[in-house]
Amino acid sequence: MGFPAEAPTVLEFPLEMFLPGSDLTPLDRNIDRIIYALTEWQPAVSKKGIVAPPRVVVEGHDYQDAIARMNHLFLRHLWGDGLPLLPATQAQINNILRGSDLPPDTVIGKILPRGGIATVRMLAVCLAMTGGRPEYLPVLIAAVKAFVAPALRHQSVQATTCSICPVVIVNGPVARQIRLNSGYGALGPDPAHPSGASIGRALRLVQLNLGGAIPGSGTMSIYGGAFRYANVVFAEDEAGLPAGWEPLNVSYWGGKRGTNCVTVFAANSGNNVGGGGAELTREGVLSVLYRLAGFLRAPNSNYFSSGSYAEGCPGVVLVARGTAHGFASVLNLSKQQVKEFLWQNSKIPLGEMNRVGFGEYLTPKGIEKLGITLEQVTDPFPITRLAKNIMIVVAGGEQSGHSYYMGVGLGPAGPTSATIDLPAKWDELLAEAEADLG
């Protein structure tokens, strides 16, 4: 925000002060300073620029020993994600920088709460440490652009106590070109589709090393969540879309089919929705829809407290190719009609809203925060103001049998999107990938 790094640091306020039953005398002792800082203090900035500290040199008995020492050094300084990292040598950084025609010092965004500057070069550094390749860089750049876009409110995503992580969904030919998974095991490890884990982990390093999202200080997420190791990066199964169904970048954003782009959402968890086998009967397909609606109806306070109720997204519904074709061919439903069904059948009775402690959202003040009027309060109460806010993505293989739901985490006002810009020598990079990976 333009403030010096020292501005938000007040040593008299230890973390323990924010715990129940803690000693609040430091607050009483410093209340005048707090009022002054909030009402009168002004920063004195003589100049602004990008700080480029000297490169770290690590030596060892051999290459493996040097890598081990590098990782020990990183752990001592709270760098990285706790897992082993590869050295970001100058040669490897230069190799990855071939994935973008932007000048290396181009600023993509400022990553809060620390405020580190994400330049193209820094993104290449993070990608190098995860074993990334140059053809992954355009997707990482787009993901970071979407991550820092105002609607995602990444400062809240970073700092909240909620277990929340970015979900990056890729549309367009680039997904297949960089071997990004859209099929079986789309959200997990897959040696045939390595790009998702590398890009997602690089984004996490951006959040940690540039943004300072260290547990217990920069981020207060109580559980963190396993997704945070590599976030969630996958592609939509555009080849598996039923007739009449448009891909996410068209149906949700109104874009053009075939455009390379990312959609970034912030989810608090993932839920496997089991059941719904290969027998595509009307009763079987309807049962899948009702089960999905049941997962959406589970009381998630983030539906109402994240500031996204009116125009944001309550969650991402993933359906495999076979399930999507069941909705379309057996029930003759469009994607929007599936959204309408889920919206209608995921409403929460007002009595349940009160039982689980959500009554505050139904008060006049709470209703105003939701961006609705008193006349729009119904019983049961919808999890989002409009059905179109629900995001549906086809991914996960050719069968049916399971679906997946990722609900919104605390913080974002809505999902964001960014176009993926490819370098002039894109075909050359893809040819190298073919030679390296088969």
- pTM of the predicted protein model: 0.92
Cα 373 to Cα 156, 283, 382, distances in angstroms: 26, 37, 14
* Averaged pLDDT, 196-218: 95
Contacts of 19 (CB under 8 A, 6+ apart): none
pLDDT higher than threshold 60 for residue 11? no
Among 217, 252, 233, which Cα is nearest to 147's? 233
Q: Which of the given ranges, 8-22, 116-130, 398-412, has the highest pLDDT on average?
A: 116-130
**59-94, pLDDT tens digit by residue?**
999 999 999 999 999 999 999 999 999 999 999 999
User: Which of 38-52, 112-126, 210-224, 234-248 is the least confident region?
Assistant: 38-52
Q: Residue 26 CA to chain centroid, in angstroms?
A: 36
Tokens standing for 224?
Answer: 């963190």
- The residues spanned by each domain of the chain are 65-268+411-438, 269-408
d(CA 151, CA 127): 25
Strands of 282-362 (E only): list them. Answer: 315-319
Q: What is the pLDDT of residues 366-401, one digit of tens each?
A: 999 999 999 899 999 999 999 999 999 999 998 888
> How far, in whole angstroms, is CA 288 from its chain's centroid?
26
Do residues 273 and 418 touch, judged by C-beta distance below 8 A?
A: no
Asked whether the CA dihedral 237, 238, 241, 246 is positive or negative, the reply is: positive
**Alpha helices of 4-51 — where are they, by DSSP H?**
25-29, 31-39
- Kindly tell me if the per-residue pLDDT of 18 is higher than 80: no
DSSP state of 54: P
Please say whether the beta carbons of 117 and 210 come within 8 A. yes
For the chain, the residue count is 438
Q: What pLDDT shows up at residue 53?
A: 76
Q: Is the pLDDT of residue 154 over 90?
A: yes
pLDDT band of 359, cuts 50, 70, 90: very high
- Residue 114: how many other CB atoms lie within 10 Å: 19
For residue 12, pLDDT over 70 is answered with no
What is the chain's mean pLDDT, rounded?
Answer: 92
On the question of pLDDT at 285 being above 70, the answer is yes
Q: Is the model's pLDDT at 5 over the cut of 60?
A: no
The 10 Å Cβ neighbour count of residue 225 is 17
Count CB-CB contacts under 10 A for residue 411.
23
Q: Minimal CA–CA distance to 196: which of 110, 127, 149?
A: 127
Average pLDDT of the residues in 410-431: 97
46 by DSSP, 3-state: which?
coil
CA distance 72 to 79: 10
Residue with tokens 């820094």: 122
The residue type of 88 is A
**Is residue 431 classed exposed, middle or buried when 0-12, 13-18 and 19+ CB atoms within 10 A define those classes?**
exposed
385 CB-near residues (< 8 Å, 6+ apart): 309, 310, 311, 370, 371, 372, 376
Contact yes or no for 166/147 (Cβ under 8 A): yes
**pLDDT number for residue 214:** 93
pLDDT band at residue 288 using 50, 70 and 90 as cut-offs: very high
Distance between CA atoms of residues 95 and 132, nearest Å: 10
